[in-house]
Amino acid sequence: MKIFLSLYCLLSTISLCAQNDVRTVTSINNNWEFARDPYNNGLSLPGKTLKWEPVNIPHTWNTEDVMDDEPGYYRGTGWYKKKIQVPSSMAAKSCFLYFEGANQVAELYINGKKAGEHIGGYSGFYIPVSSLLIAGKENEILIKVDNRYDPSIPPLTADFTFYGGIYRDLWMVAVDRIHFSFNDFSSRGIYITTPVVAPQKSTVQVRMLLANDGSLSKKLNIRTTVQKLNGTVVTATTASVMLDAKKEHTLTMPLLQVKHPQLWSPDTPYLYSVVSEIKDAATGKLIDRVAEPLGFRWFHFDAAKGFFLNGKSYKLVGTSRHQDFK
């Protein structure tokens, strides 16, 4: 589960808030304007004017289509627009817009210039915006979203509604020029596995993708810890790396060992936290920090007896819940 500290935007202004000491993750859900574009002619429609209405995100233009008795189920183009005041402090940061989901093709424009696009309505994505934002000034964000039928974009048909719009949360993310990368299919750049899980001892393998958007190479110290719920450090490992300018680097940390781990189960869903930090090797300054949840458990299937978790038999009962339920 991703934990975000959110601060809602008032008067169309970004107020940055600290998720931790070094990165900010800010909700920009509120105070948008939305308009349908049935002719798909963009913002300039000869002889016609887009009808804008105030909305907040998450938003979809198909909210009532499957619930009311009115004919029509709009699958087409919609536009979102908003102006934000960007603090001067963001000039030194790498900034991204993070969409948790927009169905099904999204295009992002900053101050009239295209920042990027994403195809597919059911996965989150980051779009870098640093080069287009003007720090200390008011900036215009335009987002085009299209949920028209497209035979090249799965799924093609289904028993659920293809909700058009930005139907999940939208965030502004600001990090140091050196940070855990978002470029691997919009992951957070931290990959955790548990090669061995046992009541007596478990092991944790952490691999990470580091990014340097800056113009200078820098030597970095990396530290990863496994922590209990109360913040107590159970085990730690460190590594050093020289990260070249404008480059990315994959680093596999030395193996971590946790003795007598508290196991995860439906009865006791205990989660540890894996905290990874990037520090400047010369100054010791903290540059980036990411915390991810971790549960220790193992499982197997038996053809005759079914499913076992941590050596205990569990009855599995199937369900059908569509993805638009969070």
Q: What is the pLDDT of residue 184?
A: 96
**Alpha-carbon separation of residue 261 from 82, 96, 191, 204, 314 (angstroms):** 48, 37, 20, 11, 21
Q: What angle do CA 255, 234, 184 make, to 5 degrees?
A: 50
Q: What angle do CA 290, 294, 300 make, to 5 degrees?
A: 150
Q: Are 224 and 237 in contact (CB under 8 A)?
A: yes
Rounded Cα gap, residues 225 and 236, in angstroms:
4
Q: What is the pLDDT of residue 161?
A: 82
Rounded Cα gap, residues 83 and 141, in angstroms:
6
- Distance of alpha carbon 36 from the chain centroid: 26
Q: What is the pLDDT of residue 47?
A: 54
Contacts of 302 (CB under 8 A, 6+ apart): 308
Which residue's entry shows tokens 């189960």? Answer: 265
Low-confidence ranges of the chain (pLDDT < 70): 1-21, 44-48, 69, 324-326
Q: What is the pLDDT of residue 13?
A: 35
Q: What is the pLDDT of residue 20?
A: 54
Q: What is the pLDDT of residue 322?
A: 77
